[in-house]
Amino acid sequence: MPLALYALTAGAFGIGVTEFVIMGLLLEVSSDLDISISAAGLLISGYALGVVVGAPLLTALTTRWPRKVVLIGLMVIFVVGNAACALAPSYGFLMAARVLTAMTHGTFFGVGAVVATGLVAPDRKASAIAIMFTGLTLATVLGVPFGTWLGQQFGWRSAFWAVTVVGLLALAVIILFVPRDKATPEASDWRTDLRAIARRPVVLGLLTTVLGYAGVFAVFTYIAPILKTVTGFAENAVSPILLIFGIGLVVGNLIGGRLADFRLVPAILGTLGFLAVVLGLMTFAFQDRVAAVIFVGLLGIAGFATVAPLQMWVLAKAEGAGQTLASSFNIAAFNLGNAIGAWAGGMVIDHGPGFVVLPLVSALFPSLAIAVAAFAARIDQHSTRSNVARKIKG
């Protein structure tokens, strides 16, 4: 794999840390800013919605810019946004800073995915995407446990200062190693791009992404309080358990990329099915400490095994210049799922049966995603057969 892929991985690492580190610090943030845990959880939803808005907007605005320039500009905004989080004097200011930082997320991964697939042979495209997304998984393995420990020891603001430094390092790596565009990106009409995204296979792929990831984040957003209140772990045990989750993400991400390169549709259906089963069983696993740790790792594997297949599906079904915008939209779809999941989890906690059955309720989301993905695959198969029949007749 080209060295440039690992430069993209470095940027993904920085973005992954800032997205996920808040999850291990919900109790600290809620205490310091005098807000409820569910309100602190909305900082995750706010970030996710920032991605939803920023992904298509910034991608459309920068479509004719050299891709390396876009990536550098996004990392600069990322650094400024994280410094603002560290300095936030209030809940509202922190939310605004999180949204500003999130605006860079979707376009970075959208543009990065297109750059990554252009660096490798056709039969390695999904694996290239998986390598770039390994930055997210490594952020969870290394960055989130360290950030959680740092925030618990020195205050949650210290975690965001650390992320700011990570962003500066990632910016330097991108400047050094991502190659300049060989030519100016092809100019595209946003109306044409939107028509490509509005095609039924793409829309169904985006919906599948939203539903699948809503299930993951309905549980993962509240993983720290679940482990403490339901399973009975001490506060200092949360960081090591998040490390297990992160290892699972690395494994699942690489497996998902290989499976998608081999057979895309079975990879999508299989990984979503595995996710639904893991979430359903977690309700019972959280009653035992050993089982809880095992299933936290399995959630990491199941959650990220879906990423490369779903991203590859949307790229494959979009057309021409619309691929960059479609790629960004799918990153937005992941984060819309995050927002919906965090909100739904908060509703179950505040107005429903609570932490104990949250994973079981969350399993409904990937179950719906399987139905949508199967429907999309069936329509696509029928469309392919019709096109072949027309060519034969012609």
Domain-wise residue ranges, the chain: 3-178+190-380
Can you give the pLDDT at residue 240?
Answer: 82
Q: What is the pTM of this model?
A: 0.72
Mean pLDDT (whole number) for 148-162: 88
Which CATH entry fits the domain spanning 3-178+190-380: 1.20.1250.20, 3.90.78.10, 2.130.10.10, 1.10.300.10?
A: 1.20.1250.20
Residue range 212-239, pLDDT digits in tens: 889 988 888 888 888 888 888 887 787 7
Can you give the pLDDT at residue 365?
Answer: 92
The letter for the amino acid at 185 is: P
Residues 18 and 150: their CA atoms lie apart, in Å, by 14
Per DSSP, the chain holds a count of helices (H) and strands (E) of 19, 0
Can you give the pLDDT at residue 388?
Answer: 47
Mean pLDDT (whole number) for 279-306: 90
- Residue 387 reports pLDDT greater than 60: no
The letter for the amino acid at 46 is: G
Q: What whole-number percentage of the chain has pLDDT above 90?
A: 15
Mean pLDDT (whole number) for 195-212: 82
Can you give the pLDDT at residue 192?
Answer: 67
Mean pLDDT (whole number) for 72-88: 91
Using CA of residue 219, residue 253, residue 75, residue 188, what is the dihedral sign?
Answer: negative
Instruction: Choose among 260, 223, 204: nearest CA to 362.
Output: 223
Mean pLDDT (whole number) for 382-386: 62
Mean per-residue pLDDT of the chain: 82
Task: With beta carbons less than 8 A apart as the criterion, state whether 379 and 255 touch.
Answer: no
Residues 160 and 94: their CA atoms lie apart, in Å, by 11
